[in-house]
Amino acid sequence: MIPAPWALLAEVTHACPLHCPYCSNPLELVRKSAELSTADWARVFGEAAELGVVQAHVSGGEPLLRPDLAEIVAAARRAGVYTQLVTSGVGLTAERLGELLAAGLNSVQLSLQDARRPGSDLIAGRVSYTDKERAAGVIRDAGVPFGLNVVLHRRNLDNLQEIIEVGARWGADRIELANTQFYGWALHNRAALLPARDQLDRAKATVAAWRETHGSGEGPELVWVMPDYYEGVPKPCMGGWGARSITVGPDGTALPCPAAYAIADLAPPNVRERPLAWIWTESAAFNAYRGTDWMTGPCRECPRREIDFGGCRCQAHALTGDAARTDPACSLSPDHGLVRDATATVGAGAADDFVYRKPGAPDRTDESPRIPGSV
Amino acid sequence: MPPDGPWRPALDKSVMLRHDRVRDADLLLMPERAVRLSGTGGRILRLCDGSRTVDDIVAELGESFPDAPLADEVPAFLERVRAEGWLR
């Protein structure tokens, strides 16, 4: 018996006003004309709830670009699902938020790229800081639970104290400090984004000091998402493949993780063709790396195999070409040198310019470092 | 909210209490988190609507569980949930 999923990540569109070089959307973005309809999403939320999903992130791209967003949220609410809007803040007026709250929206997560306007706008690839500041005021005034998400990397880690202060000033209840995960666009931009170890050490000290001086209820709660390139242990990605969460993309592609678009031979199912219950329990894609039977190399005998599940399948695929290998972020991986070498050369070389996320895939010839699938 | 008078517990507005048919359990849902309640936990929190005092809740539960040590356990449970920030 496969345990029921808890969460749905609904990527309702890939369209976005921002162009962040670490975007978690796939390199090849889904066109607007291929997006699921309002009725499709209503059915997906109904099926998800039947299956056991109780929480959804309504995300994108920028979900506010869907004119029918309130209808989608209302369908989620009817199904009894707790919904969080994940937004850049661009376009979040008091009227729009009011409409979403009336439809049953439960909470809002706003992204911020850096503490100050120039840095934030540079990463976003667009003037947007003022929009975000205004959106924060709208969220705060509505009294809805307010999370701030900041993706951390070499260009903003040294501003962490100031980032936290901005979050506190804007009234966030929690700040997710999400160290960049390097696949897709972020892997494409790794040379420009990968931080140095001493930056991370200082950042961790900043977080620890904030927590020490701010008790519960005194300012935002900080959530630190670990930078796996430096930890020597992989992250238990998604709580295990096909264990807790389903991602549904704008065109109905269903995946165990939003980064899994890149695993070329996965042949992901689509909610237009199959019920979500079949996708979760029966599909080859959701069963491919479920449990521990698929494990290779050091994972198979590892005492941590039920803790971190061999790490991230998408990272193993991106770096080694084989999603069934141990995550190279693990110090026990035979491929760990791929990660170690990257951290050893931080800041060296000239690759400091971003390739901004935009429709149309970037030049694929240098998409990612690859080695043959077996060593 | 008047500071005086007895506490009339109510769920924080960020928290949704609902029954999960699939897992046959009551859940507290909030941003980025779901908490599975024990059977009695759900039953107690369902009474926390901001109108009942703790004594009211104990009395009401006593009709269903006459032999349980509710007078000690219910207030302690409510305090624990309040400490988590889920009750006001």
pLDDT of residue A217: 72
CB-CB under 8 Å, B29 with A52: no
Distance CA A315, CA A263 (A): 10
DSSP string covering A1-69: -PPPP-EEEEE-----S---TT-SS-SSPPPGGGPPPHHHHHHHHHHHHHHT--EEEEESS-GGG-TTH
CA angle A256, A307, A1 (to 5 degrees): 55
Crossing angle between the packed helical segments A160-170 and A129-142, to the nearest 10 degrees: 40
Nearest to A107 among B14, B20, B27 (CB): B14
Give, rounded to a whole angstrom, the gap between the first and last alpha carbons of chain A.
35
Structure tokens at A160: 């962490």
Establish if B5 belongs to a structural domain: no
Contact flag B22-A217 (C-beta cutoff 8 Å)? no
What residues of chain A lie within 8 A of the CB of B30, using their CB? 82, 107, 145
The CA-CA-CA angle for residues A265, A268, A273, to 5°, reads 140
CB atoms A54 and B20 under 8 Å: yes
Tell me how far apart the alpha carbons of residues A49 and A43 are, in angstroms, rounded to a whole number: 10
Q: At residue A331, does pLDDT exceed 80?
A: yes
Region A40-62: mean pLDDT is 97
Q: Measured between CB atoms, does B85 come within 8 Å of chain A?
A: yes
Q: How far is CA A187 from CA A152, A271, A339, A356, in A?
A: 14, 28, 12, 12
- Of B14, B23, B29, nearest to A55 by CB-CB distance is B29
**Domain-located, residue B8:** no
pLDDT at A370: 38
Residues of A with CB under 8 A from a CB of B: 4, 6, 50-52, 54-55, 80, 82, 84, 106-107, 109, 143, 145, 147, 173-174, 216-217, 223
Tell me if B23 and A4 make a contact (CB, 8 A cut-off). yes
Predicted confidence (pLDDT) per residue in A88-112, tens digit: 999 999 999 999 999 999 999 999 9
Q: For B5-53, how does the pLDDT look when each residue is reduced to its tens digit (9 = 90+)?
A: 899 999 998 999 999 999 999 999 999 899 999 888 999 999 999 999 9
Cα A325 to Cα A318, A321, A332: the distances in Å are 11, 9, 11
Beta-carbon separation of A84 and B31 below 8 A: yes
Range of the domain at B48: 16-83
A-chain residues within 8 Å CB-CB of B85?
216-217
Q: Which of A31, A113, A35, A44 shows the shortest CA–CA distance to A83?
A: A44
CB pairs under 8 A between A and B: 43
- Interatomic CA distance for residues A248 and A271, integer angstroms: 8
Chain A contact for B35 (CB, 8 A cutoff): no
Whether residue A257 is annotated as binding a ligand: the answer is no
| Cβ-contact A316, A328 below 8 angstroms | yes
Rounded average pLDDT over B54-63: 93
Percent residues over pLDDT 70 in chain A: 94
Query: Is the Cβ pair A54, B13 closer than 8 Å?
Result: no
- Which alpha helices (DSSP H) does A182-327 contain, by range? 184-188, 190-193, 197-213, 228-231, 276-281, 284-287, 313-320
**β-sheet with A82-87: strand ranges across:** A221-225, A174-179, A146-152, A107-112, A82-87, A55-59, A7-11, A245-248, A254-255
Q: Which range (A42-56, A161-175, A253-267, A353-367) has the least confidence?
A: A353-367
Residues in chain B with CB shorter than 8 Å from the CB of A50 are: 22
SS3 A371: coil
The mean pLDDT value for A332-341 works out to 95
Q: Does the structure show a pLDDT above 80 at A351? A: no
Tell if the CB–CB gap between A82 and B16 is shorter than 8 Å.
yes
Token pair 């005034």 in the structure block, residue = A141
At A241-263, the pLDDT tens digits run 999 999 999 999 999 999 999 99
Enter the tokens of residue A27: 């390199």
Contact A44, A5 (CB under 8 A): no
pLDDT at position A128 is 96
CA distance A109 to A126: 19
**Domain regions of chain A by residue span:** 7-230
Tell me the residues of chain B between 1 and 20 that have a Cβ less than 8 Å away from chain A. Answer: 13-14, 16, 18, 20
State pLDDT tens for residues A169-226.
Answer: 999 999 999 999 998 899 999 999 999 999 999 999 999 999 999 977 788 999 998 8
Q: Do A52 and B22 touch (CB under 8 A)?
A: yes
Q: Answer whether A177's CB lies under 8 Å from A134's CB.
A: no
CA A171 to chain B, closest CA, distance in angstroms equals 15
| B37 falls within a domain | yes
Per the CB < 8 A criterion, the answer to whether A88 and A62 are in contact is yes
Alpha-carbon span A133 to A185, nearest angstrom: 26
Q: Please give the residue of chain B at the shortest CA–CA distance from A80.
A: B18
In contact, A10 and A342? CB cutoff 8 Å: no
B69 located within any domain:
yes
Instruction: Give the ipTM of the model, two decimals please.
Output: 0.89
In this prediction, residue A352 carries a pLDDT of 65
Q: Indicate if the pLDDT at residue A372 is higher than 80.
A: no
Task: Please answer whether residues B35 and B41 qualify as being in contact, where contact means their C-beta atoms are separated by less than 8 angstroms.
Answer: no
CATH code that applies to domain A7-230: 3.20.20.70
Q: Are A148 and A220 in contact (CB under 8 A)?
A: yes
Residue B2's pLDDT band, with cuts at 50, 70 and 90, is low
Residue B2 domain flag: no
Task: Determine the angle formed by the axes of helices B70-83 and B39-46, rounding to 10 degrees.
Answer: 80
Kindly tell me the sign of the dihedral angle through the C-alpha atoms of A63, A66, A70, A74.
negative
Flag whether A20 is marked binding: yes
Q: Which residues of B touch A216 (CB under 8 A)?
A: 85
Instruction: Consult the annotation and say whether A302 binds a ligand.
Output: no
Select the more confidently predicted residue: A346 or A311.
A311
DSSP B70: H
Looking at residue A247, its pLDDT comes to 98
Chain A nearest C-alpha distance from B14 (Å): 6
Q: Are A88 and A18 in contact (CB under 8 A)?
A: yes
pLDDT at residue A345, rounded to an integer: 83
pLDDT at A368 over 50: no
What is the domain count for chain B? 1
Q: Quick check: A143 and B13 CB within 8 A?
A: yes
